[in-house]
Structure 1
Amino acid sequence: MFVNTVIAFIIIFGTLVFFHELGHLILAQRAGILCREFAIGFGPKIFSFKKNETVYTIRLLPIGGFVRMAGEDPEMIEVKPGYTVGLLFNKEDKVEKIIINQKEKYPDALVIEVEQADLEHQMKISGYEQGNEDQLVSFSVSETSFFIVDGEEVQIAPYNRQFHSKSVWKRIKAIAAGPIMNFILAYVILVFLGIVQGVPSDEPVLGKLVDNGRAAEAGLHEGDRIQSINGKKMESWTDVVSTVREHPEKKMKIVLTRDNNKLTKYVTPEAVKTGDETVGRFGAYNPAEKGLFSAISYGATETVTVAQNIMTTLGKLVTGQFSVDMLAGPVGIYDMTDQVAKTGLINLMKLAAFLSINLGIVNLLPIPALDGGRLLFLFIEAIRGKPINREKEAVVVFIGVAFLMLVMLVVTWNDIQRLFL
């Protein structure tokens, strides 16, 4: 069972992160931004391959992911005056590769001592050829050129391929696409579930009964329409559920109709502990309607409902009505996955949809280091007409990262205490 839970956790978490980062990747590439790496996880690489300009990697720690866009961080390699580099040319006599070290492995390379290099705007490099130090030579550099460092190629990013060269609107779309993709994923999962298992109805009618459940033991059947419980009229399935919840281990008188006949049954709901309260359950589900259009509508309605509930909870967290101790981190999500996995694939998919919506909303919070924080900076830039000072932005992001790490440590510690202590 442990192995199954681990596999389920990795698949669910990996899928959510994959689609989130895929949103960033697609919109960034459409904007013309050079995306150096698409990563699932953090830490050491355990698998990688390169397609076109992007290296796709799976990393050891399954706690997130990232798309590394050119220009978001300082470029890793600089060519400064006085450097000795090797140059390889393409058929158009433009520099195609700049060899930083191990130049002896490339006997065909032209070796120069760099006098000047502009590999962002003008795409030119000039210097003195070895053996002819008196004559300055200048070369155009291809926009699809590479550095070669320790035998590995690193693509050079001209300014027009960097993140900050793009319009504010294109950058906003590239950042917002991640959370939006999570909402789309949740919607698709919920529509699929609506097609497979049907759309839950709020009619006070019994759907599938749990084998050996209290409802089945009392002689209730699928399709029974509940008229009243303890004399109280039942107008919806919501009424039924709330009434049953209020009667753990207390006998209830249920009046129902079956095949146009009125019957009276007595059911004692099972007492089930959820959190700090004990509620009643009698082992019956509400009926479901199957159909493509109802599933499409259900997917949208359920996505909005779950999003509203999550936002309400976050609002309570801000006002102090909800404690950070009640949040769940990766350890808590693993435990949640373990519990839900025991109830079947359908519930696992429901959990995945919930987590996907949760991931989308949390990432939109205006906290530095999250997508919402980056979007806030971009909206401010759009209003001001100029970007925020990069150094000030970096300081704010650093504070945001430190805050998130602190919250993650607290949440993880609470998860561990709940599980093991």
Structure 2
Amino acid sequence: MTDLLPQPGILFTLATYIVMVAILVVVHEGGHYLAGRYFGVKIDAFAFGFGRELFGYDDSRGTRWKFNLIPLGGYVKFTGDMNAASQPDPQLAALPASERAELFLFKPLWQRAIIVAAGPLINFAFAILILAGVYMALGHPSTPPVVSAVVADGPAAAAGIRPGDRITAIDGSSVDRFEDIANAAMTSAGAPMTVAFERAGVEKTVTVTPKIVETVDRFGGVVRHGRLGIARSGAQVVENVGPINALRYGVADTWGITVSIARTIRQIVMGERSLDELGGPIKTGQVTGQQASLGVLSFIVFMAFFSINLGFINLIPIPMLDGGHLLLYAVEAVRRQPIGAKVQEWAFMSGFAAIMSLMVVLTWNDLGAVGVWARVASWLS
């Protein structure tokens, strides 16, 4: 049994979490900023963090670059926005046409959509570049999708899979390496999977129901995931790649992670997984510290994973998120006229309430996961 690694200290965990969030906020908000500048939108502020301004400066274009008290987040404020969520000021319509031309609210619909989408999209691009850089520096590892051993009483054995079988597809998605099989099994909620494989040149298809097991990670955390009961060949191949193939692998892995995130959220919404498995800010900070304690490379790769998460979550069609803005723009495109100010206000308020409610639930779960509620119960007993 592998010895458990010590948990990183609170200050180290907090520092690495702040560094990661700061970098990703600059990347995300930088996407909005660059797209806005490209289309000639006037920008009041680019803020690092929230709350009271600590220091800052004004550039030649009139944008205030400021650093605020709370370093967890940030925003770009376009001229005419009432708040950091880019809720427009309804009084802007009274401005002269020359002034409205520079305002985000009066830009063509397609330009507004690009500016809003630029934030999440640059998160995906950032992750692709990180992964591509890692692959160029260290090579791209992969293991052939060949089964070397089968657990006697496992799901794969019950379905008829044998050593030597080469897995070719799972649920219709092609499999190129054993890592694809492991990822599909681990993100499974125990639902049956259609597995295609090749045996002695003959294609076969079986249905396998992964077994949900609990394992302990290197830091003592309990993780629930699916398992098929097969082992890889162990013959890992590290391919030296140039920029083109590195980018191709970066795109493929980013897409695979995105699909896994979408599958997990769908499983939670459908009740196939517990909401307890969805980490909040405390859990994210804890994992960030753990990965950073393993070295700079682990921290950078985890930052790529979290960047994909940030991009995906921001595309969810909830008002206040970028996806919510895009949803309202889609409605505007169908109606061929802007949505009323009252409806937008209601949408933003409901979106804010939904996000805050989710954060409260996730934080509550996080506090339970790190043992806070158990300690409180022991004090009261």
How high is the TM-score relative to the length of structure 1? 0.64
Number of residues of Structure 1 aligned to a counterpart in Structure 2 = 299
What CA distance in whole angstroms lies between the structure 2 residues aligned with 1:229 and 1:43?
A: 56
Whether contact under 8 Å (2:49, 2:73) holds in the other structure is yes
Corresponding position of 1:233:
164
Corresponding position of 1:351:
302
Note closer, same or farther for the CA distance 1:5–1:239 as it changes in structure 2 (3 Å cut).
closer
Note closer, same or farther for the CA distance 1:47–1:321 as it changes in structure 2 (3 Å cut).
farther
Note closer, same or farther for the CA distance 1:324–1:227 as it changes in structure 2 (3 Å cut).
closer
What CA distance in whole angstroms lies between the structure 1 residues aligned with 2:179 and 2:100?
A: 62
1:233 aligns to what SS in structure 2? coil
1:7 to 15, 27, 30: 15
Q: What pairs up with 1:382-401 in 2 under 5 angstroms?
A: 382-401=333-352
What CA distance in whole angstroms lies between the structure 2 residues aligned with 1:239 and 1:392?
A: 47
What CA distance in whole angstroms lies between the structure 2 residues aligned with 1:240 and 1:177?
A: 29
Shift of 1:272: 4.6
Corresponding position of 1:68:
77
What CA distance in whole angstroms lies between the structure 1 residues aligned with 2:270 and 2:226?
A: 27
Note closer, same or farther for the CA distance 1:323–1:62 as it changes in structure 2 (3 Å cut).
farther
Letter aligned with residue 313 of structure 1: T
Letter aligned with residue 65 of structure 2: Y
What CA distance in whole angstroms lies between the structure 1 residues aligned with 2:181 and 2:116?
A: 41
Considering fraction of residues, name the structure with more helix. 2
Whether contact under 8 Å (1:72, 1:162) holds in the other structure is no
Whether contact under 8 Å (2:42, 2:103) holds in the other structure is yes
1:59 aligns to what SS in structure 2? strand
Q: Percent identity?
A: 31
Corresponding position of 2:141:
200
Shift of 1:204: 7.3
Corresponding position of 1:58:
67
Letter aligned with residue 302 of structure 1: D
2:223 to 275, 288, 305: 275
2:260 to 309, 316, 319: 309
Corresponding position of 1:380:
331
Whether contact under 8 Å (1:27, 1:173) holds in the other structure is yes
Corresponding position of 1:129:
none
Corresponding position of 2:280:
329
Shift of 1:119: 8.2
Corresponding position of 1:318:
269
Whether contact under 8 Å (2:18, 2:72) holds in the other structure is no
Letter aligned with residue 277 of structure 2: M
1:39 to 27, 42, 47: 47
Whether contact under 8 Å (2:47, 2:66) holds in the other structure is yes
How high is the TM-score relative to the length of structure 2? 0.70
Note closer, same or farther for the CA distance 1:317–1:278 as it changes in structure 2 (3 Å cut).
closer
What CA distance in whole angstroms lies between the structure 2 residues aligned with 1:408 and 1:330?
A: 8
Letter aligned with residue 39 of structure 1: A
Shift of 1:304: 0.6
What CA distance in whole angstroms lies between the structure 1 residues aligned with 2:270 and 2:338?
A: 32
Letter aligned with residue 75 of structure 2: F
Higher relative contact order (CA 8 A, sep 6+): 2
1:287 to 237, 251, 256: 237
Whether contact under 8 Å (2:142, 2:179) holds in the other structure is no
Shift of 1:312: 0.8
Shift of 1:357: 0.7
**Which deviations, in whole Å up to 9, do the C-alpha atoms of 1:31-81 show, x marking residues without a partner?**
221110111221122232221221112222233221111122289xx9xxx
What CA distance in whole angstroms lies between the structure 1 residues aligned with 2:235 and 2:71?
A: 35
Note closer, same or farther for the CA distance 1:203–1:51 as it changes in structure 2 (3 Å cut).
same
Shift of 1:285: 8.8
**Which deviations, in whole Å up to 9, do the C-alpha atoms of 1:326-377 show, x marking residues without a partner?**
2222211110112212222222122111111111111011101111011111
1:275 aligns to what SS in structure 2? strand
**Which deviations, in whole Å up to 9, do the C-alpha atoms of 1:11-32 show, x marking residues without a partner?**
2111111110001011112222
Corresponding position of 2:197:
none
Give the unaligned 5+ runs of structure 2: 1-7, 152-161, 168-176, 186-214, 373-381
Is 2:125 the partner of 1:179? no
Whether contact under 8 Å (2:143, 2:235) holds in the other structure is no
1:296 to 247, 258, 275: 247
Is 2:124 the partner of 1:166? no
Shift of 1:298: 1.0
Give the unaligned 5+ runs of structure 1: 79-117, 123-142, 144-157, 206-225, 246-270
Note closer, same or farther for the CA distance 1:188–1:285 as it changes in structure 2 (3 Å cut).
farther
**Which deviations, in whole Å up to 9, do the C-alpha atoms of 1:183-211 show, x marking residues without a partner?**
00010011011112211122379xxxxxx
Shift of 1:317: 2.1
What CA distance in whole angstroms lies between the structure 2 residues aligned with 1:377 and 1:368?
A: 8
What CA distance in whole angstroms lies between the structure 1 residues aligned with 2:361 and 2:71?
A: 19
Whether contact under 8 Å (1:160, 1:166) holds in the other structure is yes
1:49 aligns to what SS in structure 2? strand
Note closer, same or farther for the CA distance 1:314–1:227 as it changes in structure 2 (3 Å cut).
closer
RMSD: 3.3
Note closer, same or farther for the CA distance 1:171–1:187 as it changes in structure 2 (3 Å cut).
same
Q: What pairs up with 1:218-257 in 2 under 5 angstroms?
A: 232-233=163-164, 235=166, 238=178
Corresponding position of 1:248:
none
